[in-house]
Structures are given as C-alpha cells and as structure tokens.
Amino acid sequence: MSVVLVDYGAGNLPSVEGALRRLGVPSRRCSTPEPLADADAVILPGVGHFSPFAAALDRRGLRQPLLDAIAREVPFLGICLGLQALWEGSEEAPMARGLGVLPGRIAALPAGVKLPHMGWNRLRQLSGRTSRLLEGVAPDAYVYFAHSFAGSADGAVAVCDYGTTFTAVFERGALFGVQFHPEKSGAVGSVVLRNFLETAR
Amino acid sequence: MSLARRIIPCLDTDGARVVKGVRFADLRDAGDPVLLAARYDREGADEVVVLDIAATRDSRPTFVNTIRRAARELSIPLTAGGGIRDLSDARAVVEAGADKVTVNTAAVRDPGLLTTLADALGAQAVVLAIDARRAGAGWEVCVRGGREPCGLDAVAWAAEGARRQAGEILLTSIDRDGTQSGFDVDLVARVADAVPVPVIASGGARTPEDFLRVFETGHADAALAASIFHDDLLAIKQLKAFLASRGVPVRAA
C-alpha cells in the first residue's frame, strides 16, 4: 500500500510518520504532484498558520493533484490544518484559498475560552451518524487538539465543544478529516489512523 | 467543555541521558530519555517534556537527536527546551519532531523572541518557562537554570509573555523544586489567574493530594514532575484514578 504524506514544508511529518510506522505501515513524503497520482491513501497533515499552508500548496503545485485524488475517491485524511484546508478559506488568512471541497469558511474559536485550544478534550460523537474512523473508539474519548480556528459542525460525525461546537471528525465517502491530532492522541489516535488505513485496503 | 488536566513527566537530560536535579544541583544519571519517555506514554502521561539542562554548544546536536528519537516513539505531545536562544534553535527541535519548545533565559533577555517564535511556529508551539522564587510578598524570576535573579516579577512577566504570544506558561517554583514538599500553590494561582493561556505547574510534587491542590486551588491546567515518576514513588495511573475520583477531569490512563 502506498501511503503518501503531503509535505508542504511546515507540517509535523515526523510524528505522523512515527505513528504510521508503529502501525507497521510505511509512508512516503511527497512535496511534488507526481506521487499523488498513484497513491492508495493520502494524508495531509498541517500545523501552524493557514496562509503559508495555502501558499505552499500552490507553490508546490499540489492543489489540483490533491483535488484530483479526492475526486477519484482515493482515501484522504486531513489532519488539523489539513482538515481546515477542505473549506473555501479561513478567517485566519482572508486572502488565502482553501481547497473548497466543503462550502464556507473556517472561523476563529470565540474569545472567552483559553486559546489556542490546546490539550486533551472530549469528542462528542453525534448519534445516528456512523463513523468508520471512530470504530472502536468511545463516543466521548479524549483526543489531543492544538488550534485556534475550526470548521462548522455541518456534516460532522463527531464534534468538540469548546467555546462553540465545531467539527472534530468529518467523513464523506473516502474523504476524512480530523481537527485533533491522531498522531498525538495516544491509543485512541492509533485506532483512528488504523481505521483510516483500513479504508484504503 | 473543559480540557483534561494534564500530567506531564519531565526528563532533564545532559543532551543524551536523563539526569535530575535537586534544587537544580547534584545531578545524577537516570537513563535513556527515549525509553523513559515511551514508558510514560504507555503509562498514561498526557505529554512529555524533555529538557537539555547542559545546554552547551556541544550538547545541542546530541539533544536534537534525542528529540528526534523520542518523537518517533511517542504517541503523545513532546515539548523540548533548555538553552533555546533563537529561532534557529527552536526550529531545530521542532523539525526534529517536538510539538512545542520552551524558552526561558533568552526570552528574558529579548522578550520579542516570543513573538518571533510564535509568528514562525504558531503560538501553540511556544512555551514560556519561568523559574520563580519567593521574594518578599511576591516571586522573582530567575534565569540561567534558576541560579540568577533578574529582577522581574514572575506574575507580571507571565502576563507579558502571554501578551507577546507565548501559548503556554511552564512555571517552576525554585523554592519547591526537588523538595517534594508540594507545589507552590499560591504562586501557581497568582499566575494562572493573571494569564489567558494554560499554566503548567512545576516543582515540589510528591503526593496525589499535591496534584489535587494545584489543580483545584492553584487553577493549574497541567502539572509537571520528574523524580516522583522516575523513582516510582507515584504511578501516573494511580494518580489519575485518584484525581478522577475527586472530580478532576483527566484522560484515563
């Protein structure tokens, strides 16, 4: 299985690579469009600011190949900023363009709670929504978050409540995204990553 | 919803090996930081802090390599620090896989460094480490491994650090560090109530009640300890079970 980790220059790739290796799955980094063409699964990790992230996707020519992979229904997992990239844009960087797979924009978490939202918080799996990523995960499991912006809860299979209610886990067909960091979420995170890889088998 | 209160073992290293301090002096070897960090991950730690307390030019490359090895093994967040002087030092440990980096003396010398780091790495990756000791009615900030008082008031400095975009404060009581006489709960409460960012309390932990107190009365978001975990005086699993039984939100170990 060819698992491609998108390297846009500022992601925390070693952590994700380590998590995949502990699951016995090798991955390769890709900072050019070519490897995306024959990937069995694509992971788009992301940390930091939306603006350099979006700019790097364009500079490296990754935007269209990523959209093509999503259109071909190659299993795709966006992590943190990689999930946020699915929307049209973000309040964090009004001029930067997201991938625009989902309508609307990423918004800042409200003032009144400590920001960044950083640490272990509970998922709230929505009743009536089945989730492939969360199979075997407690519906209110603790996972690790580190972010100040988030996407609306529309279409989420699990949300998190912190100042507002936002998407913690998104799923639609082969398209997956998590606002938390599965590579930093201990045993629960490993299960989520394993479940994602299962969808690519 | 409130975040889980975090339990954080801290590994003081000379770059390559774990040492530990009693009041920042009298160091002794306690093993491989990567093995220890992985053990704490399995035992339910919420995060691991690895510090280079030698922080010399010679220890630096070794330390970055230690961080790289630790990051590969850990499934929880990793914070690296000790002797971080500038953006390039910080970038080196972040690129090696650290999620956050602590700055201490260098931020006191140049507070603008906090903003520089936050702009480059994100505020969530920048931890302002403050070593404080009681001085009169307040607490004074000390630098250079806690040895040198620098005249700053700890509460004011924490607030300024947060304004300058430190995403978190790691607050160590020099008076309590290594004494196992309990956290300086007054200090922690003063700082935690004064800043809009999470505060990690450090220095003096011994009993589960110490942790309960620093969370309930000190309003700490996280608590850090070293020797009591290294010496098996307190197991993280039991500590978390105790805290949960007293109504503190913790991630089950």
With an 8 Å Cβ cutoff, is B96 touching chain A?
yes
d(CA A183, CA B76): 7
Rounded to 5 degrees, what are φ and ψ at A107?
-120, 155
Annotated catalytic residue A160: no
Per-residue pLDDT tens for B95-154? 899 999 999 999 999 999 999 999 888 888 999 999 999 999 999 999 988 888 999 999
Q: Which two tokens stand for residue A163?
A: 């100042």
**Total domains, chain A:** 1
- Interface size between A and B, measured as CB pairs under 8 A: 88
Per-residue pLDDT tens for B232-241? 889 999 999 9
Q: Which of A92, A117, A171, A181 is catalytic?
A: A181
The more confident residue out of B231 and A167 is: A167
Please give the DSSP secondary-structure letter assigned to residue B73. H
Chain B contact set for A144 (CB, 8 A): 76-77
How far, in Å, are A87, A181, B27 from residue A102 at the CA level? 5, 20, 55
d(CA A107, CA B22): 46
Count of beta carbons in the 10 Å neighbourhood of residue A125: 21
Per-residue pLDDT tens for A140-190? 999 999 999 999 999 899 999 999 999 999 999 999 999 999 999 999 999
The complex scores an ipTM of 0.89
pLDDT score for B24: 36
pLDDT score for B25: 40
Q: What is the mean pLDDT of residues B8-12?
A: 95
Chain B contact set for A187 (CB, 8 A): 75
Give CA A173 to chain center in angstroms: 15
d(CA A22, CA A24): 5
Give how far A113 is from chain B: nearest CA, Å: 8
Instruction: Tell me what percent of the residues of chain A surpass a pLDDT of 90.
Output: 82
Enumerate the domain spans of chain B: 6-245
CATH superfamily entry for domain B6-245:
Aldolase class I (3.20.20.70)
- Domain extent at residue A64: 3-199
Q: What is the mean pLDDT of residues A18-35?
A: 94
- Do A119 and B96 lie within an 8 Å CB cutoff? no
Give how far B57 is from chain A: nearest CA, Å: 25
- Do A118 and B46 lie within an 8 Å CB cutoff? no
Chain A contact set for B42 (CB, 8 A): none
- Do A18 and B125 lie within an 8 Å CB cutoff? no
Q: Which of B14, B131, B210, B221 is catalytic?
A: B131
Give how far A166 is from chain B: nearest CA, Å: 12
Closest among B235, B133, B223, B135 to B176, alpha carbons compared? B133
Chain A contact set for B198 (CB, 8 A): 114, 118-119
With an 8 Å Cβ cutoff, is B3 touching chain A?
yes
Per-residue pLDDT tens for B164-192? 999 999 999 999 998 999 999 999 999 99
Task: Kindly report the CATH number assigned to the domain that includes residue A122.
Answer: 3.40.50.880
Q: What does B168-232 look like in DSSP terms, one character per residue?
A: EEEEEETTTTTT-S---HHHHHHHHHH-SS-EEEES---SHHHHHHHHHTT--SEEEESHHHHTT
